Amino acid sequence: KKPWDRALTLLFSAIILITIGAIVYVLTSSRMAEKFTEFYLLGQEGKAENYPRELYLGKEVTVVVGIVNSEYKPISYKLEIVEDDTKELELFPILLQHREKWEQPVKFKASKVGTKQRVEFSLFRNDDTSIYRSLYIWVDVNPSKSTPLPLQ
């Protein structure tokens, strides 16, 4: 064989090996790079609609809260529900393995009468004190079912 044939064979073999190595690297490293937690709210029908908009003081309402761990390790979550700076509910620990899903109906009560109140659903990871994920809905809270609030 000619020296060029041998050199080209070695060159193409090296290119093929490098290409295979690069493909394996990209496939394995890109999966690990996507670490996240899904955090979502569903209405009572289990859809991302028809959230409670009108509440009555002291009467429980239900939303479905979902958490999916895609962090590639077990995570302990804490869920807090806060209405206009007042903590209404706290659930913890919610321990999820990688790819495990927690989806539960969660009940809470409004403690203050008023219109356009923000109800925030905050998710914390492990023992962090800062909010990791946050969702909210706007509600009007009436004093009782028979006395609706005046429009503002």
pLDDT digits (tens, 9 = 90+) for 76-131: 999 999 998 889 899 999 999 999 999 999 999 988 999 999 999 999 999 899 99
Residue 86, Cα to own-chain centre: how many angstroms? Answer: 22
The overall pTM is greater than 0.85? no
* Cα gap 100→106, rounded to integer Å: 18
Structure tokens at 126: 């492990």
Q: What is the pLDDT of residues 2-47, one digit of tens each?
A: 778 888 899 999 999 999 999 988 877 655 568 899 999 999 888 9
**Sign of the torsion formed by the C-alpha atoms of 25, 28, 29 and 30:** positive
